[in-house]
Amino acid sequence: MRAEIAVLPGDGIGPEVTAAAVAVLREIADRHGHVFTYSENRIGGIAIDECGEPLPKATIDACLASDAVLLGAVGGPRWSDPQARVRPEQGLLALRARLGVFANLRPLRVHPRLAGLSPLKAENLAGVDLLFVRELTGGAYFGRKTREGDVATDECRYSVGEVERVVRRACELALSRKGRLTSVDKANVLETSRLWRATTDRVVGEYEGITLEHQLVDSMAMLLLTRPSAYDVIVTENLFGDILTDEAAALAGSLGVSPSASLGAGRLGLYEPIHGSAPDIAGQGVANPIGAILSAALLLRHSLGLELEACAVEAAVDAVLATAELTRDLGGTAGTEQVTRCVIEQLRSKQ
């Protein structure tokens, strides 16, 4: 197939890890007879430096004209003055809004070799295979905010339509996995949560083959630590999802290996590792490329519909995690390029 991929390297280690992900995508295209073309575009701090704004129009246009967007990371100390008129992170928020990506996916598996980095015991991590689906464009983060004297408010607002579309995505994803869906809310106290729960019950009722369970967010926070292997797909609203996905990332023990996808109504999606721009190690060639490479696997799966190819990348990464020298964050001595080469060699050895 033919596909146009917009690459947004961004700041810090972003360019290093997106280069790794693109190298893997090139290998997949070669092996499987696809033609992928890439356009490189500015976002974040580098865009502020070069274009005066964190999300130039040329970048938006390139993304909207593409089949998928692969992003590195944005931000860094150079642009972090809270008084600054424009900040790199605004570029990412604006891009999500322009692409209409309302469902943020974060898969979580813990490779046995990395179990020692997790705060959980290895026996509690066996069989953990989670997929978080976080609503990304509604709730308290986007509601009306007020400040009058010493009183502040953040309005949390959800419409039936906003809940429906993200729960539908979660149902489709659950059907492609174990068919278990856990919806997280706080329906014992919040009206938006009661709407969330009623809508979820109705939407899930339209699907055959899904087992739905509701959890309150406070119990879910605990269950993630005590029984993480009991869950499959977990869908929740924006603020709860933000907190729970960071808790889940901590379970994985390392920021460097986790990917994410942000999806909207169509096929166009935004793919990025969950880590930030890691200014402390930028430019040294030691960044772990695995989060970005697994994000490219999600891109193959969700925007291009190339499931086999996505699985090939994931299997190659699993093999590298099992046997190869890893980057410093995982206790190894390998650099970004060495790990990337190992992933590519694994892909070659399989065909």
Counting DSSP H helices and E strands in the chain, the numbers are: 12, 12
Quick one: tokens of 251?
Answer: 């379970």
Count, residues near Mg ion per rule CB under 5 A: 1
Q: Are 133 and 166 in contact (CB under 8 A)?
A: yes
Choose the contact partner of 255 out of ligand ATP, Mg ion, none; CB within 5 to 8 A by kind: ligand ATP
Residues 89-148 that bind ligand ATP (CB under 6 A): none
Q: Which is nearer to Mg ion, 233 or 287 (CB)?
A: 287
The yes or no reply on residue 335 touching ligand ATP (CB under 6 A) is no
Q: Any binding-site annotation on 198?
A: no
Q: Are 104 and 241 in contact (CB under 8 A)?
A: yes
Distance CA 310, CA 85 (A): 40
242 is catalytic: yes
Among the options 49, 61, 201, 246, which is catalytic? 246
The yes or no reply on residue 10 touching ligand ATP (CB under 6 A) is no
Q: Which position among 167, 203, 278, 320 is part of the footprint of ligand ATP (CB under 6 A)?
A: 278
Among the options 185, 186, 271, 329, which is catalytic? 186
Q: Are 75 and 12 in contact (CB under 8 A)?
A: yes
Choose the contact partner of 329 out of ligand ATP, Mg ion, none; CB within 5 to 8 A by kind: ligand ATP
246 is catalytic: yes
Burial class (CB in 10 A: 0-12, 13-18, 19+), 123: exposed
186 is catalytic: yes
Q: Are 125 and 117 in contact (CB under 8 A)?
A: no
Q: Are 262 and 144 in contact (CB under 8 A)?
A: no
Q: Any binding-site annotation on 229?
A: no
Q: Are 192 and 139 in contact (CB under 8 A)?
A: yes
Quick one: tokens of 145?
Answer: 């905010």
Among the options 38, 141, 178, 318, which is catalytic? 141
Count, residues near ligand ATP per rule CB under 6 A: 17
Q: Which position among 46, 287, 310, 317 is part of the footprint of ligand ATP (CB under 6 A)?
A: 287
Half-sphere exposure (CA, 13 Å, Cβ side) for 131? 22
218 is catalytic: yes
| Residue 327 Cβ vs ligand ATP, minimum distance, rounded to whole Å | 6
Alpha-carbon radius of gyration of the chain: 20
The yes or no reply on residue 276 touching Mg ion (CB under 5 A) is yes
Q: Any binding-site annotation on 96?
A: yes
Choose the contact partner of 263 out of Mg ion, ligand ATP, none; CB within 5 to 8 A by kind: none
| φ/ψ of residue 237, rounded to 5 | -80, 175
* Known binding residues for substrate: 96, 106, 134, 218
* Residues in contact with Mg ion by the rule CB under 5 A: 276
What positions carry a catalytic annotation?
Answer: 141, 186, 218, 242, 246
Q: Which residues are annotated as a binding site for Mg(2+)?
A: 218, 242, 246
